[in-house]
């Protein structure tokens, strides 16, 4: 009986950790807010502000995710990887998006 309890507790912990940061099919994603910096600026476009850190990230491959429309203030789940390269806006880290999905809150 005690072993069953330990196994049950282990299963709960595994499920909790495996479901952490899995949102709408985007594994290990973060909450982000879309910021549109294109108005009046020739070098900037869509930038994402990460909710937890406040850091801004500039995507290099946003065109690969053309199935979504991005408007200033939209809420998204964002999974990304930092890449080398120069920032065109000077607002944040340059990243390659792995996954992006809309979020409600």
The band of 4, judged by pLDDT with boundaries at 50, 70 and 90, is low
Q: Quick check: 29 and 79 in contact, CB under 8 A?
A: yes
The SS3 call for residue 86 is coil
Per CATH, the homologous superfamily of domain 2-102 is: NigD-like N-terminal OB domain (2.40.50.500)
Q: Measured between alpha carbons, how far is 58 from 9 in angstroms, rounded to an integer? A: 41
The stretch 44-62 carries a mean pLDDT of 95
Mean pLDDT of the chain: 83
Q: Measured between alpha carbons, how far is 23 from 1 in angstroms, rounded to an integer? A: 35
Provide, rounded to the nearest whole percent, the portion of the chain with pLDDT above 70: 79
Residue 14 has pLDDT above 50, yes or no: no
Residue 69 has pLDDT above 70, yes or no: yes
Strand pairing category for 75-82 and 46-50:
unpaired
Output the furthest CA–CA distance in the chain (Å, rounded). 68
Break the chain into its structural domains and give their ranges: 2-102
The band of 6, judged by pLDDT with boundaries at 50, 70 and 90, is low
Q: What's the pTM?
A: 0.74
């Amino acid at each position: 009986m005690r072993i069953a309890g330990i196994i049950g507790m282990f299963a709960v912990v595994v499920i909790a950790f495996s479901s952490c940061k899995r949102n709408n099919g985007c594994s290990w994603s973060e909450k982000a807010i879309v910021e549109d910096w294109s108005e009046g600026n020739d070098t900037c476009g869509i930038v994402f502000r990460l909710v937890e850190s406040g850091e801004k990230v500039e995507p290099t491959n946003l065109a690969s995710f053309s199935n979504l429309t991005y408007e200033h203030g939209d809420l998204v789940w964002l999974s990304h990887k930092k890449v080398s390269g120069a920032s065109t806006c000077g607002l944040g880290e340059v990243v390659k998006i792995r996954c992006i999905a809309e979020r409600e809150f």
